[in-house]
Structure 1
Amino acid sequence: MKRKAMILNGNIKMRLLAILLLLALPLMSQDVEDIIEEVQDTYEDMDNFTAAFKRVESFKLTGTVSETTGKVWIKEGTKYRFESDEQQVITDGKTVWSYNAINNQVIVDRVRTESGALLPRDMLFKYPKEYFSTLLRTEKEDGKDIFVIKLTPKGKVTGVVKSMKIWVQDDNWLIKKIEITDLNNNSTKFEISNIDTNTRLSDDLFSYKDIPGVRVIDMR
């Protein structure tokens, strides 16, 4: 009799736990949507963004890892400039210039929405609509909460991004880190630091300046 009572109590506890978990699911879902909305509002109101970054690329097939450091400038969400020692990627929102110092060439093309390229505005507005958002955990950094959010596609992947994780700082809703996994399970991680949103950026910064001797390949 005592054993039956223990089993009954155990079953009741399990059912109560299941009910509590089910009740918590909408709350957790709402929380992550609120976080993404806060991030979107922050960047929507931001005209200028400058930061240093470290990019780490890991290639699944070969097991190789490469690391790059540089700087990024973003204006109005559609104009950006990415610079490292070996590469420049610049767009004014219509044309994109990709300069590679090793190959001594620059490829000029139109900004193509179907290319699968990760544009700053896509990450903030396109992907949250087309991908499921999950709050994985909350981390601590310098006493501040950092939300780790994973984005996975709702349907068939149309670009090259299989999934994405973003690290969002609680007090200012700025993205501190991004991890992108492509269809071949290669990963690219960006760590973002020295963020400046106050310095006004000139439009000239988002136009490529010809470098003598560099081969130009125009794909437009």
Structure 2
Amino acid sequence: MKIKSKIVFVLVLISIALLNSGCIGEGLTADQIAEKMQEKQANIEDISATVHMTISIEGGTQETEYQLYQKNPGKMKNIVLMPEEMAGQTTVSNGEKMWIYDPAANTVTIMEMPEVSDEFEMDYASIIGDLLNETDVSLVGTEDLDGRDTLVLMLVPKEEDNLYGSGMKVWVDDETWTPLKIEMGTENTYQITVEYRNFEVNTGISDDEFEFEVPDGAEVIEVDDFDDILPVSMTLEEAQNLSDNEILTPSYLPDGYELNNVMFSNTSIVANIDESVTLMYSYDDNGIIISESFYNGEIDQKSILMESETVSVNGVEGDFYSMYGGSGMLQWEIDNALLTLSAPLEMDEIIQIAESME
């Protein structure tokens, strides 16, 4: 079912917890556990929840919240509740068509949903095997969470270099094998908490919930083919020939870095963006990524919710974000373009690269 593909990661955690606690017996193979997961999920027809996420990084804490509805087959609806500047942004799909509404720009993007090939189905057994190899998983207890019985799991990574920080704690709904809360992070660096509040299953959500009526006066943007919004890989020369704007490139790069890919798109679901291009430079296992979005109206930087430091790029104010692992991200404007530069470098060198792009 479509719902399970969105929560497969935590379903894996649940299956391991049940295995460790003896609820489904010991000695089951990954294939048998995957089969158990699918049996449990087959009973879910619809779900609704308020999803609350808190991200704490050096420099500040940001919270986001949205209302979530999902129903088989393939229906979904998300409404942003916070932060205030993004409230009301709505994404709706009835399984065949998708609407994306931006109330600030008063635009509605409408596109046909692509068919998903069977080859994109999740390989649950492989995911379970990988997780077992990467973490030590233990069932630490049970807890009532928002009126629902949960299993509480702890995952401790076996290696320092991992995706889970110093560890992950998960509260798993005993009835549906769905996550109700996840905590992960690294002490003194970052912490992420995701909570599924007011979680309900099989309440008979109407199909009408997954239809969208375009508000009066809203601009409608039709996308005929989903593939049209995906960026295409090409050479820098090909991208510049297609672009109606001057694609900017740095005249300074640290030693060893070379351009290895360019992604270009002249269709966007984001209001006021005519074109976007991404330049990817690499050296050994490190990469510098420069994204340029060309606007035909007001430039919107609302999507980045982290705290930033104001810096100067050739006399223009920019926002510098300190990222996990010593990387940095810089965002600034040149004429009608919003540029974003991400790299595993110190702030001074990132600014030096940016200032060479005039």
Q: TM-score range by the shorter chain?
A: 0.5 to 0.7
Matches of 2:51 and 2:108 in 1, distance apart? 22
Change (3 A) 1:171 1:206: closer
| Counterpart among 112, 135, 146 of residue 152 in structure 2 | 146
Matches of 2:105 and 2:140 in 1, distance apart? 41
| Count of residues in correspondence between the two structures | 168
Task: Note if contact 1:97-1:208 (Cα within 8 Å) is conserved in structure 2.
Answer: yes
CA-based RMSD = 4.1
Change (3 A) 1:46 1:171: closer
Task: Note if contact 1:56-1:189 (Cα within 8 Å) is conserved in structure 2.
Answer: yes
**Could you list the runs of 5+ residues in structure 1 that have no partner in the other structure?**
1-23, 115-121, 151-161, 181-185
Structure 1 letter corresponding to 2:78: F
Structure 1 letter corresponding to 2:46: N
Q: Secondary structure at the match of 1:208?
A: coil
129-138 vs 43-52, greater mean Cα deviation: 129-138
* Structure with more contact order per residue of length (Cα contacts < 8 Å, sep ≥ 6): 1
**CA-CA distance at 1:47 after TM superposition:** 1.3
**CA-CA distance at 1:36 after TM superposition:** 5.1
Q: Secondary structure at the match of 1:145?
A: strand
Matches of 2:100 and 2:126 in 1, distance apart? 27
1:126-141 matches, cutoff 5 A: 126=122, 128=124, 131=127, 132-134=130-132, 136-140=137-141, 141=143
Task: Note if contact 1:32-1:133 (Cα within 8 Å) is conserved in structure 2.
Answer: no
Superposed CA deviations along residues 94-152 of structure 1, whole A, max 9, x for unmatched, are 222121223322222233468xxxxxxx8xx62636643436343443384234679xx
Aligned to 2:197: 193
Matches of 1:191 and 1:97 in 2, distance apart? 26
Aligned to 2:104: 102
Matches of 1:39 and 1:63 in 2, distance apart? 40
1:57-96 matches, cutoff 5 A: 66-85=62-81, 86=87, 87-96=89-98
Change (3 A) 1:188 1:219: farther
**CA-CA distance at 1:81 after TM superposition:** 0.8
Structure with the bigger percentage of helix: 1
**CA-CA distance at 1:92 after TM superposition:** 1.0
Task: Note if contact 2:40-2:177 (Cα within 8 Å) is conserved in structure 1.
Answer: yes
**Could you list the runs of 5+ residues in structure 2 that have no partner in the other structure?**
1-19, 82-86, 157-162, 185-189, 225-358
Task: Note if contact 1:149-1:167 (Cα within 8 Å) is conserved in structure 2.
Answer: no
Task: Note if contact 1:105-1:217 (Cα within 8 Å) is conserved in structure 2.
Answer: yes
**CA-CA distance at 1:198 after TM superposition:** 3.5
Matches of 2:67 and 2:212 in 1, distance apart? 16
Matches of 1:63 and 1:28 in 2, distance apart? 45
